[in-house]
């Protein structure tokens, strides 16, 4: 380029000011632009990498959550006669083989009135007071032992003065008080009957005391009371026999008999022993453990790839090589196998390592198949409990499982007010500002070069004119001498 300028000057020709200026400015701008492009590329790569790793973490949490909810880790309820009772249990419940006899179902007390021709006819005004407890006798009440439930007082006003109004007043009062009493009207060819039903349990029978109009006393029920209400079903407890021991429960849903299990009594079957137990598919459970290890390995491999430094066989450093959150997550994964996930009793597994998942120095998870087989065979509920704890959601009393903690940590780094994207956005803004400053500087440089080379071109032109004049004079002098 310089030789071209010299040649132009020596030749006395004009200078291409525009081309010369553009060439010099480009030579100065291009390396600086490349530096800015490289900075922006690193920012873009880091933003992309953080999004990818976050997606990977969230994907692991979601996949394991779906696996747990699918029930493949849980025991399957086994009941020898499902027509007598049903069985369900919570995650991790230990349920040994049991035999249960259902001698009687729990039932609620039911009162029915005599038929009346007109459900809209007056029944009287006043109050009906329901008292709850054990009511003796199978038809008429022969005794009453008060229970612990508070009385239910039903007010019968002018708008309630009919069989339908009485029904609605009872239901409204029961709903307001949170009491399990239901009134309804049954109608057939003989007329309409008021039926009042209570909840199950011997201690939840009830008597009714009436005050007010004399007609309302027809709807009283109790010891020595004669009215139009008769007891068609008395309140009783469910009766079960477990290991030869007779037990009573006030409900047909029994959840306090076997830890973690709920029995639903369907029909009484005296003399029939129903066998219940929790059966597990150990092959599914073992495969779930292997899948957890494989998934964690994929996550570790991806994280290490994104955060690897250049050298030692790595040509280019990963986009997250300097990201502290990624390093923290990888450290958490590296110590995961020896982290206590549940509270132990000294005999059950509390860590992933206890059921055969270990981590080597390079962060790779592996399975000790012998240990896994032993734990799955002897303590399958503990395996389910550990995997569930690994991915557990936070509660008011317990923190989230490690995988959810890692996902939350990275989410904060990505979405938080002071997260990495915020810092990277500031870096992008700084790069854009530097680009603008570079453009402005190059504009000033272009102006300066244009001015300098224009002046140079003018000087060259003047020199050419002087040279032409001198050549003409010399020619004249030479001619005069001749």
Q: Residue 2: its pLDDT value, please?
A: 38
The pair phi, psi for residue 264, each rounded to 5°, is -115, 110
Mean of the pLDDT values across residues 400-425?
Answer: 76
How would residue 8 be classed by pLDDT, with cut points 50, 70 and 90? Answer: very low
pLDDT-wise least confident of 119-133, 244-258, 291-305, 402-416: 402-416
Q: What percent of the chain clears pLDDT 70, i.e. is strictly above it?
A: 91
Q: Residue 473: its pLDDT value, please?
A: 78
Q: Residue 421: its pLDDT value, please?
A: 61
What Å distances lie between residue 228 and 196, 241, 251, 386, CA to CA? 12, 38, 29, 61
Domain co-membership, 146 together with 86: no
Asked if residue 393 belongs to a domain, the reply is no
CATH code of the domain covering residue 120 = 2.60.40
User: Where do we find the tokens 């996902």?
Assistant: 407
Residue 72 has pLDDT above 80, yes or no: no
Q: Residue 424: its pLDDT value, please?
A: 64
What residue ranges in 334-402 does DSSP mark as E strands?
Answer: 357-359, 365-367
Residue 172 has pLDDT above 50, yes or no: yes
Asked if residue 417 belongs to a domain, the reply is no
Mean of the pLDDT values across residues 257-280?
Answer: 91
Asked if residue 263 belongs to a domain, the reply is yes
pLDDT: is 124 or 14 the higher one?
124
pLDDT in tens, 318-350: 788 878 888 888 899 999 999 999 988 888 899
Q: What is the mean pLDDT of the chain?
A: 86
pLDDT in tens, 413-448: 777 555 566 666 777 778 788 888 888 888 888 888
Domain co-membership, 89 together with 121: no
Domain co-membership, 119 together with 208: yes
Full residue range of the structural domain in which residue 97 is found? 76-105+239-279
Stated pTM of the model: 0.56
Domain co-membership, 196 together with 231: yes
Domain co-membership, 168 together with 197: yes
Asked if residue 33 belongs to a domain, the reply is no
Q: Identify the burial level of 175 via C-beta atoms within 10 angstroms of its C-beta, where 0-12 means exposed, 13-18 middle and 19 or more buried.
A: exposed
Asked if residue 366 belongs to a domain, the reply is no
Q: Identify the burial level of 443 via C-beta atoms within 10 angstroms of its C-beta, where 0-12 means exposed, 13-18 middle and 19 or more buried.
A: exposed
Mean of the pLDDT values across residues 228-254?
Answer: 95
Residue 389 has pLDDT above 70, yes or no: yes
What secondary structure does DSSP assign to 118-171, as a single string? Answer: -TTS----EEEEEEEEEEESSSS--EEEE-SSPPEEEEE-GGG-SHHHHHHHHH
Angle between helix 282-307 and helix 324-334 axes, rounded to 10 deg:
150
Domain co-membership, 85 together with 180: no
Residue 12 has pLDDT above 60, yes or no: no
Asked if residue 448 belongs to a domain, the reply is no
The two three-digit tokens of residue 40, written as one number: 């922006």
Domain co-membership, 100 together with 249: yes
Mean of the pLDDT values across residues 362-372?
Answer: 93
pLDDT in tens, 232-243: 999 999 999 998
Among residues 115, 114, 118, 144, the alpha carbon closest in space to that of 131 is found at 144
Asked if residue 59 belongs to a domain, the reply is no
Domain co-membership, 96 together with 160: no
For residue 228, what is the DSSP state?
S
Q: Residue 364: its pLDDT value, please?
A: 92
What Å distances lie between residue 426 and 53, 72, 229, 321, 420, CA to CA? 21, 47, 81, 19, 10
Domain co-membership, 94 together with 206: no
The two three-digit tokens of residue 20, written as one number: 């010369």
pLDDT in tens, 116-168: 999 999 999 999 999 999 999 988 999 999 999 999 999 999 999 999 999 99
Looking at the 3D structure of the chain, how many domains does it have?
Answer: 2
Q: Residue 3: its pLDDT value, please?
A: 39
Angle between helix 282-307 and helix 17-69 axes, rounded to 10 deg:
160
Domain co-membership, 230 together with 245: no
How would residue 482 be classed by pLDDT, with cut points 50, 70 and 90? Answer: low
Q: Residue 135: its pLDDT value, please?
A: 96
Domain co-membership, 179 together with 258: no
Asked if residue 223 belongs to a domain, the reply is yes
Q: Residue 33: its pLDDT value, please?
A: 81
Residue 54 has pLDDT above 70, yes or no: yes
Q: Which of 211-225, 418-432, 435-449, 458-472 has the highest mean pLDDT?
A: 211-225
Structure-derived torsion over alpha carbons of residues 38, 43, 44, 45, reported in degrees to the nearest 10: 90
Q: What is the 3-state secondary structure (H, E, C) of 234-281?
A: CCECEEEEECCEEEEECCCEECCCCCCEEEEECCCCCCCCEEEEEECC
Domain co-membership, 118 together with 215: yes
């Amino acid at each position: 380029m310089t030789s071209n300028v010299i040649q132009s000057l020596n030749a006395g020709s004009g200078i291409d000011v525009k081309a010369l200026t553009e060439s010099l400015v480009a030579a100065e701008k291009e390396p600086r632009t490349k530096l800015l492009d490289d900075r922006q590329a690193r920012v873009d790569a880091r933003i992309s990498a953080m999004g990818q790793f976050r997606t990977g973490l969230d994907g692991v949490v979601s996949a394991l959550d779906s696996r747990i909810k699918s029930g493949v880790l849980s025991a399957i309820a086994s009941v020898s006669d499902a027509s007598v009772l049903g069985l369900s249990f919570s995650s991790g419940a230990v349920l040994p083989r049991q035999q249960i006899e259902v001698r009687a179902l729990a039932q609620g007390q039911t009162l029915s009135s005599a038929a009346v021709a007109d459900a809209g006819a007056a029944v009287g005004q006043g109050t009906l007071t329901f008292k709850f407890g054990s009511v003796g006798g199978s038809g008429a009440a022969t005794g009453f032992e008060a229970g612990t439930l508070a009385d239910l007082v039903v007010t019968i006003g002018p708008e309630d003065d009919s069989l339908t109004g009485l029904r609605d007043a009872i239901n409204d009062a029961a709903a307001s008080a949170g009491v399990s009493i239901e009134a309804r009207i049954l109608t057939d060819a003989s007329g309409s009957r008021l039926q009042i039903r209570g909840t199950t349990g011997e201690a939840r029978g009830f008597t009714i005391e009436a005050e007010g109009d004399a007609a309302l006393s027809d709807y009283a029920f109790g010891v020595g009371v004669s009215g139009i209400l008769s007891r068609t079903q008395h309140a009783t407890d469910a009766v079960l026999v477990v290991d030869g021991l007779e037990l009573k429960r006030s409900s047909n849903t029994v959840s306090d008999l076997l830890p973690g299990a709920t029995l639903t009594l369907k029909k009484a079957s005296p003399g029939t022993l129903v066998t219940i137990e929790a059966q597990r598919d150990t092959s599914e459970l073992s495969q779930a453990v292997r899948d957890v290890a494989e998934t964690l390995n994929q996550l570790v491999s991806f994280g290490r790839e994104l955060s690897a430094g250049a050298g030692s066989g790595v040509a280019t450093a990963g986009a997250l090589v300097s990201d502290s959150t990624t390093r923290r997550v990888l450290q958490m994964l590296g110590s995961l196998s020896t982290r206590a996930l549940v509270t132990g009793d000294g005999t059950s597994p509390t860590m992933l390592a206890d059921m055969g998942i270990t981590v080597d120095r390079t962060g790779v998870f592996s399975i000790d198949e012998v240990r896994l087989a032993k734990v799955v065979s002897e303590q399958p509920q503990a395996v389910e409990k550990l995997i569930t704890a690994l991915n557990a959601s936070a509660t008011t009393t317990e923190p989230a499982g490690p995988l959810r903690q890692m996902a939350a940590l990275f989410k904060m780094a990505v979405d938080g007010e002071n997260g990495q994207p915020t810092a990277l956005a500031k870096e992008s803004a700084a790069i854009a500002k530097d680009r603008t400053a570079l453009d402005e500087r190059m504009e000033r440089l272009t102006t300066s070069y244009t001015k300098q080379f224009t002046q140079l071109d003018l000087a060259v032109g003047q020199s050419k004119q002087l040279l032409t004049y001198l050549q003409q004079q010399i020619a004249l002098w030479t001619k005069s001498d001749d």
